[in-house]
Structure 1
Amino acid sequence: MIYFDNSATTVVDASVLDTYIQTTKRIIGNPSSLHFLGTQADRLLQQARGQIAELLNVEDKEIYFTSGGTEGNNWVIKGTAIEKHPFGKHIIISDVEHSAVGKAAAQLETLGFEISRAPVDQKGRIKVDALAALIRPETILVSTMLVNNEVGAIQPIKEIGKVLESYPNIHFHVDAVQGLGKLPLQNWLTARVDFATFSSHKFHGPKGVGFVFWRRGRKLAPLLNGGGQEFGGRSGTENVPGITAMSKAVRLQLTDEEAKCHQQRQLQTYLIEALKTFDNVSLFTEPTDEYAPHIVCFGINGIKGEVLVHAFEEKNILISTTSACSSRSHVTGSTLHAMGVPGDIGTTAVRVSFSSHSTMSELEQFLVSFRHIYEKFSKVSR
């Protein structure tokens, strides 16, 4: 099997899985318990927090553990709305946000909040001037993704941050779920970014665990109330085995980060150059610094994306339509629509996504299968 759907989820690294299993076996206490088993669990929890903070070059108490990217995005968006609603009810997102952001914002609209959506250019990148023009005195939050999960476009986080330097009371949230290990942290995690969300299963960690970077001094209301865990920000008994394994996954992901990104960029460039030789292929990703190195979005003209996904599946190659979260509900890719791609072209789109585990040998096999599939559909359409 060739697995090229790493933007949907990644295979858990073997050593990360071993950490999860061993921690589950050895650490049985609740971190909030006062006895020695609780102390043992809490010590491991704080070690994991400290390791992640050190790797991100932030403070330990700026790392809050969650169940993943969806919870993290909902927490920052709704938590800001709850905390700051006396000062305004206006929130800015972009036209290309993941549904975890888009639907959270849409729910707030039903409660009287106003949501503005910043447009993107033909490459899927937010128009910074257009976003700046949307800011009002009552704006309380700007929320944008770091890397678009459909086409791989890298958003201009530094440029948006510079705009927001003139508005220090506005929270700035970055959905960084697709970005860890793909872009150097110093390229986007500036002093103006107040919150960033991460999800373990996107970087070879276990599912059901993630974390939020919450800059000290910013205020955010909790969504989960109860025992007061996570410094009172997120109640609920912490998933110590998952968190411990995730902290190892973060360390492994950021080890030799530059070499891993270069390897994925080589795969991306090779695939895009190969696809360019086929007349009926539409490409929505470019192998440039404006795109993350692990995503290639393309389509065969006249062939629905889901048809192409199943054609590859028959050859034991797994890819995706543009967003795994919307694949089963047959939602048309919002990013391509926002980029101005015509609907009949947008519905052909599929996504190939690599990880540091992907190889050139796998890509060569992919291209052999692609040629067979392309010829098959070409004969049918003649």
Structure 2
Amino acid sequence: MSNSRNSANMIYFDNSATTQPYKEVIELIAKLMSEEFGNSSSLHTLGVRAERILEDNRAKLAATIKAEPEELVFTSGGTESVNMALRGTAEVLKRSGNHIISSPVEHSASLESLKELERLGYEVEYLDVDEYGRILIDDLKAKLRKDTIMVNIMAVNNELGTIEPVIEAAHHIKANNKATIFHVDAVQAYGKIPINIRDLKADLISFSAHKIHGPKGVGMLYMRKGTRLHPLMMGGGHERKHRSGTVNVPCIAGFGLAACIKTERMKEDQINCGRIKKIMINELNDSLGSKIRINSPEDGVDNILNISFKGIKSETLLHFLEMQQIYVSSGSACNSKKSAVSHVLKAVGIPRAWAEGAIRFSFGSLNTEDEAFIVTNAINEIMKKM
């Protein structure tokens, strides 16, 4: 696998926003767009070949989470998958109840969908979380009701890297009421930690390709057999009538290849990202000490590190790093252009003075330990001038 970058001098530590596609993925997509451009719904030879590619990659992707191929529905990405799960479930279960439970540190795709459901008359109740955004299981058990139609909890927090206890949560949800639908947003977990639907008894799980060195514009929703959804997209009845619209076969194939590569090298990437994360923490603790605050938990995923810097706004530090071709984030990419303090940092109780200086560093398959030293040295030089 090639580890080349677009720029030899660029250091990209914003892999939770998006990833650079693997070279093999780019080559495969280009080849299929040129040679296998048929519509997978067409009856002629080109269409049949496209459908075969589509179903081969559905099977590959299903195998990475120990699911059955027919349990996967392809979408345009994580946001659509989440919307489809939450809004589609609420619609089909509206006669069974209107009580929904969610964590307050979810991605905006979830939170905005839940706001819309509240507007439509659903009751949304939010769980308490600890200092790292981890839900409290006792609080979940206390808030579950017999008329709870759905619970929504992400597997890994996109800003802090916190791993949520979704397997344990699923046990209590189903013990309370087997009919309650459990949706897990696994966009930041997939390819970073193992996901096995035999262990994670969720009914719906959302995924995205571009977080694992695949293409943008493609995602998937796992639907456990027997789970019902009201479709958001109406039309030709594609994806077994769950999601109409011409299927993006080349990019789905790119998704399948990226998932296979990422799954095969998951342990290797965990070790590499863990080393990078350790270097970042140790170097900045040694040089800046009380001027930094580590917001990510020690037992979080290896590829996300959230640090607050005292006396400097995150946008300022981000700008100075960008001048040196070092790319990081001030929070979720879907919210980082807004000036308000992150809702995640608010929810976990980080003081505003610290929250305003928070930077998220997120590592991927193509990053190196040498880059970590370069970034920490750059930060030290910037902080000296503040």
Normalising by structure 1, report the TM-score.
0.96
Give the CA deviation at 1:189: 6.0
What is the CA–CA distance in structure 1 between the aligned matches of 2:37 and 2:279, rounded to whole Å? 48
CA contact (8 A) 1:151 1:322 kept: no
Structure 1 residues 130-164: Cα deviation after superposition (integer angstroms, max 9, x where no partner): 12211122211101111101111110111101111
What is the CA–CA distance in structure 1 between the aligned matches of 2:148 and 2:131, rounded to whole Å? 27
Change over 3 Å in CA distance of 1:191–1:182 after alignment to 2: closer
Partner amino acid, structure 2, of 1:198: F
Partner amino acid, structure 2, of 1:285: S
What is the CA–CA distance in structure 2 between the aligned matches of 1:369 and 1:333, rounded to whole Å? 25
Partner amino acid, structure 2, of 1:281: I
Give the CA deviation at 1:302: 2.1
Count matched residues.
374
Of 324, 337, 350, which aligns to 1:328? 337
Give the CA deviation at 1:121: 0.2
Give the CA deviation at 1:331: 3.1
Alignment correspondent of 2:98:
89
CA contact (8 A) 1:80 1:219 kept: yes
Asked if residue 168 in structure 1 is aligned to residue 178 in structure 2, the reply is yes
Any idea what SS the aligned residue of 1:87 has? coil
Give the CA deviation at 1:190: 2.4
Asked if residue 285 in structure 1 is aligned to residue 306 in structure 2, the reply is no
Give the CA deviation at 1:194: 0.9
CA contact (8 A) 2:149 2:181 kept: yes
Alignment correspondent of 2:366:
357
What is the CA–CA distance in structure 1 between the aligned matches of 2:64 and 2:133, rounded to whole Å? 30
CA contact (8 A) 2:150 2:183 kept: yes
Alignment correspondent of 1:110:
119
> Structure 2: which 5+ runs fail to align?
1-9
Partner amino acid, structure 1, of 2:179: N
Asked if residue 141 in structure 1 is aligned to residue 141 in structure 2, the reply is no
Same amino acid, percent of matched pairs: 38
Give the CA deviation at 1:55: 2.1
CA contact (8 A) 1:164 1:192 kept: no
Alignment correspondent of 1:182:
192
CA contact (8 A) 2:215 2:251 kept: yes
What is the CA–CA distance in structure 1 between the aligned matches of 2:140 and 2:87, rounded to whole Å? 20
Partner amino acid, structure 1, of 2:381: H
CA contact (8 A) 1:181 1:261 kept: no
Pairwise CA RMSD of aligned residues? 1.1
> Structure 1: which 5+ runs fail to align?
378-382
Partner amino acid, structure 2, of 1:366: V
Give the CA deviation at 1:191: 4.9
Alignment correspondent of 2:5:
none
Of 228, 231, 244, which aligns to 1:235? 244
Alignment correspondent of 2:377:
368
What is the CA–CA distance in structure 2 between the aligned matches of 1:24 and 1:168, rounded to whole Å? 44
Deviates most, 228-237 or 266-275: 266-275
Alignment correspondent of 2:306:
297
Normalising by structure 2, report the TM-score.
0.95
Alignment correspondent of 1:256:
265
What is the CA–CA distance in structure 2 between the aligned matches of 1:192 and 1:117, rounded to whole Å? 21
What is the CA–CA distance in structure 2 between the aligned matches of 1:374 and 1:140, rounded to whole Å? 50
What is the CA–CA distance in structure 2 between the aligned matches of 1:17 and 1:104, rounded to whole Å? 32
Alignment correspondent of 2:17:
8
